Amino acid sequence: MKKTVLNVLFLIVLNAFSLQVALAQKKSIVQKVDSVLKLMTLDEKIGQLNQYNDDWTATVPLTIDSDKVSQIQNGKVGSLLNCMGTERTRKWQNIAMQSRLKIPLLFGQDVIHGYKTTFPIPLAESCSWDLEAIELSARISATEASASGINWTFAPMVDIARDPRWGRVMEGAGEDTYLASKIAYARVKGFQGSKLGEINSIMACAKHFAAYGAAIGGRDYNSVDMSDRLLWETYLPPFKATLDAGVATFMTSFNDINGVPSTGNKYLLRGILKDKWGFEGFVVSDWGSVGEMINHGTVKNGYEAALSSITAGCDMDMESRSYKNNLAQLVKDGKVPIALIDDAVKRILKKKFELGLFDNPFKFCDPEREKKELNNPDHPIAALDVARKSIVLLKNQNHLLPLSKNIKTIAFIGPLVKVVNQNKGFWDVDVPGIDSSYVVSQWEGLQKKVGNKTKLLYAKGCSIEGDNKDGFAEAVNIAKQADVVILSIGERRDMTGEAKSRSNINIPGVQEELLKALLTTGKPIVVLINAGRPLVFNYTADNATAILYTWWMGSEAGNAIADVLFGDYNPSAKLSISFPLSVGQIPIYYSHFNTGRPAVSDTNRFYNSSYNDLSIYPKFEFGYGLSYTTFQYSNLQMSKKKMHFNDQIEVSVTISNTGKYDGEEIVQLYLRDIVGSIARPVKELKDFKKIKLQAEQSETIKFIIDKEKLSFYNQQLQWVAEPGDFDLMIGASSRDIRLKDSFELVE
Ligand code: NOJ
């Protein structure tokens, strides 16, 4: 009896709270957040800062919380990650709805390059330089994920990466700050759509803040030692671009910078992000990185880790439990002012309101919509489009490509011809309850393309790794019967990605030896290189007849590759990262300083800044990529040769398609500041245009040079332009400069 009365009382109180929460929703978001905050106990506040992994993806007993359900019921969890599908997310959200204040959970997921539809890996997509296609790829990923319970992706990764040994190079947009910033902006716009609150918008997360890509030696999680100037000039701008695009969240990085772990880095998180840049969203740690500060040796225990991290400005603790276990005590001990906790909670609640979760916590859990969007026929079309645009033609001797559709016999050889899921790349998502095996293999793509007209022969030849050459004889035998050989080789998809750094980035195993064996047949050979990073493949580069760098193309891999092989799409991609000649050349990037002893050519490199035993050039440079047609650059014009600070120069250049095929060209504008108060790079990309030209068509394109494009961080870290002379270079790559002029900036 007593129990029933208590229950009734409890329900009245609960309803009163619910009523207050409901009333709060009518006010502006800031007021709503404040009125919810007022109702919260300290424990509930700390709960909002706590993020757990769901259990079901774990193959080992990952969680240490057998009482996860009751923790959610008690308001001790603000978000779950790795929880997908409308059924599963609804289940957890229902549990959250049993909590006193019914604050909805956020569901975060690594939707990096697609959800059910897998798009090319981000590094590949960045080679398309096609901002619209990249935005669409993120838009579709968000549409699918949001239909499947997810409201937050841990993407885009906007870390500049100049070391292909680093496995996560596959997840970013390459080496260049300008290109990567444009892509970062497009990706955020794609994920978040017109505004949070739309049914197909999910929160984006700019990661990993900051400089994670500069891990010493390319070893994942390693320390970063970096000057402030390099940080500001090269590594921070892509993050700033995500902010300009309205990114909802940031993630800290695992590394320390100059000895200070990012997750406890007050200079980065508060100083730069929240204070200087005015970021109003929230910051989540990387997985366990709050607790990992103990390993870094900057804190003694979880108590100190939580103190360091919340003080620095990290609002949510992903999986380390340091906040959950220590923040209450830190508040009691007077070490953490409640205002700090409130600020973090408010930031998180605000996003929950903006997403519309307080209005409808099950907004993203509609199974009908899930079914519809995960089978939306427009999605593979977009995946095919961006995949074709991401394949880089590196070599095309004797115009072997495009292949004629009348070839009698093709031998399709290699360990990657018939694989299916490999094509998805590292961060594919295993969507629960859905047949996620939808991927067009290279074999299937080619078969569909040639139909019955061409005889297609197959041999695996060898495995990706290992030294077994037993399959060589069969491969050589079918190559002899063919008119053309296509050889598909490369890495396994899980050789790049998180924790996948490698000291040897050659094509693994005996795959290049297989090429050597096939070359003895004298047949023309097209090599498809599948990889998540720039590999070193000098033998292939020097001996194959044609090479397509196909990265990992995702769901539509086979179709995209077949379209490019047969000229149904004329390749237009250009490398967003330099390909080294050897590991010893790393890091190699085009926008280096001149140095006091510049090595300007391979014939004049001694006593200059170079290796005695290596060319000064990469194997393939930033911005490089061929087409089946040729483009001529002419008629460079500048509206003036002297520019005042508040002036602009209009640059125009005519591009002509001088070949037989329609095609697209990515025209690149580089600048060099000849004399600065500090050294300036030998060239910097400052603009580009991707244009489509029919065979024999010409077009004049325009660029604008303004003060912003001429500015840099000086020694005092001020963003300034300095008067003086500049070189203007228009190129088809960072090395293939077709037209050159100069101008002067005057005060
Ligand atoms: C660790 C990775 O560094 C990060 O990028 C990812 O979002 C989290 N794990 C969650 O999976």
Confidence (pLDDT) at 433: 72
At position 663, the amino acid (one-letter code) is G
The residue whose CA has the least distance to atom 1 of ligand 1 is 287
Confidence (pLDDT) at 58: 41
Confidence (pLDDT) at 355: 98
Ligand 1 pocket, residue 500 CB under 6 Å? no
Give the global pTM.
0.95
Ligand 1 pocket, residue 110 CB under 6 Å? yes
Using pLDDT thresholds of 50, 70 and 90, give the confidence band for residue 59.
very low
Residue 622 has pLDDT above 90, yes or no: yes
Residue 56 has pLDDT above 70, yes or no: no
The residue whose CA has the least distance to atom 7 of ligand 1 is 154
- Strand-strand pairing, 698-705 and 455-459: unpaired
Confidence (pLDDT) at 60: 41
Ligand 1 pocket, residue 498 CB under 6 Å? yes
Confidence (pLDDT) at 380: 97
Dihedral of CA 243/219/129/638: which sign?
positive
What's the DSSP call for residue 488? E
Residue 252 has pLDDT above 90, yes or no: yes
How many angstroms is it from 554 CA to the middle of ligand 1?
20
**Which atom of ligand 1 approaches the CA of 157 most closely?**
5
Confidence (pLDDT) at 1: 39
| Residue of 286, 290, 429 with the most ligand 1 atoms within 8 Å of its CB, for mutation | 286
| Residue of 51, 84, 158, 251 with the most ligand 1 atoms within 8 Å of its CB, for mutation | 251
How many angstroms is it from 110 CA to the middle of ligand 1?
7
Residue 147 has pLDDT above 80, yes or no: yes
Using pLDDT thresholds of 50, 70 and 90, give the confidence band for residue 432.
confident
The residue whose CA has the least distance to atom 3 of ligand 1 is 286
How many angstroms is it from 341 CA to the middle of ligand 1?
24
How many angstroms is it from 287 CA to the middle of ligand 1?
6
The residue whose CA has the least distance to atom 4 of ligand 1 is 286
The mean of the pLDDT values for the chain is 95
| Residue of 154, 251, 254, 317 with the most ligand 1 atoms within 8 Å of its CB, for mutation | 154
Residue 365 has pLDDT above 70, yes or no: yes
Dihedral of CA 28/29/30/34: which sign?
positive
- pLDDT tens-digit map of 120-134: 999 999 999 999 999
Using pLDDT thresholds of 50, 70 and 90, give the confidence band for residue 431.
confident
Ligand 1 pocket, residue 670 CB under 6 Å? no
The larger pLDDT score, comparing residue 363 to residue 21, is at 363
Residue 391 has pLDDT above 50, yes or no: yes
At position 139, the amino acid (one-letter code) is R
Using pLDDT thresholds of 50, 70 and 90, give the confidence band for residue 14.
low
Ligand 1 pocket, residue 292 CB under 6 Å? no
Using pLDDT thresholds of 50, 70 and 90, give the confidence band for residue 605.
confident
Ligand 1 pocket, residue 483 CB under 6 Å? no
Confidence (pLDDT) at 65: 62
How many angstroms is it from 501 CA to the middle of ligand 1?
15
How many angstroms is it from 244 CA to the middle of ligand 1?
23
The residue whose CA has the least distance to atom 9 of ligand 1 is 287
Ligand 1 pocket, residue 52 CB under 6 Å? no
Q: In whole angstroms, how far apart are CA 458 and each of 102, 275, 415, 477?
A: 59, 60, 10, 10
Strand ordering across the sheet containing 649-657: 631-638, 649-657, 698-705
- pLDDT tens-digit map of 152-203: 999 999 999 999 999 999 999 999 999 999 999 999 999 999 999 999 999 9
Ligand 1 pocket, residue 726 CB under 6 Å? no
How many angstroms is it from 747 CA to the middle of ligand 1?
47
Q: Which two tokens stand for residue 273?
A: 């992000």
- pLDDT tens-digit map of 695-718: 999 999 999 999 999 999 999 999
CA distance 214 to 726: 29
How many angstroms is it from 284 CA to the middle of ligand 1?
11
- DSSP letters of 165-199? TSGGGGGS--S-HHHHHHHHHHHHHHHH-SSBTBT
Using pLDDT thresholds of 50, 70 and 90, give the confidence band for residue 574.
very high
Using pLDDT thresholds of 50, 70 and 90, give the confidence band for residue 62.
very low
How many angstroms is it from 263 CA to the middle of ligand 1?
14
What is the per-residue burial (b if ≥16 Cβ within 10 Å, else e) of 616-646?
bbbbbbbbbbbbbbebebeebebeeeebeee
Which whole number is the average pLDDT over 554-583? 98
**Which atom of ligand 1 approaches the CA of 254 most closely?**
3
**Which atom of ligand 1 approaches the CA of 155 most closely?**
7
Q: Which two tokens stand for residue 741?
A: 């002029």
Ligand 1 pocket, residue 171 CB under 6 Å? no
Ligand 1 pocket, residue 189 CB under 6 Å? no
Confidence (pLDDT) at 705: 98
How many angstroms is it from 251 CA to the middle of ligand 1?
9
Strand ordering across the sheet containing 317-318: 152-153, 106-109, 79-81, 50-53, 317-318
Share of the chain above pLDDT 90, in %: 92
Element (H, E) at 687: strand 684-693
Using pLDDT thresholds of 50, 70 and 90, give the confidence band for residue 55.
confident
Ligand 1 pocket, residue 673 CB under 6 Å? no
Contact 369, 103 (CB under 8 A): no
The residue whose CA has the least distance to atom 10 of ligand 1 is 287
CA distance 650 to 641: 10
Element (H, E) at 673: strand 663-673
Confidence (pLDDT) at 638: 98
Ligand 1 pocket, residue 286 CB under 6 Å? yes
Which of 163, 176, 256, 286 is catalytic? The answer is 286
Ligand 1 pocket, residue 178 CB under 6 Å? no
Ligand 1 pocket, residue 163 CB under 6 Å? no
Confidence (pLDDT) at 466: 98
- pLDDT tens-digit map of 515-544: 999 999 999 999 999 999 999 999 999 999
Query: Does residue 286 carry a catalytic annotation?
Result: yes
CA distance 272 to 266: 9
Ligand 1 pocket, residue 154 CB under 6 Å? yes
Share of the chain above pLDDT 70, in %: 94
How many angstroms is it from 49 CA to the middle of ligand 1?
17
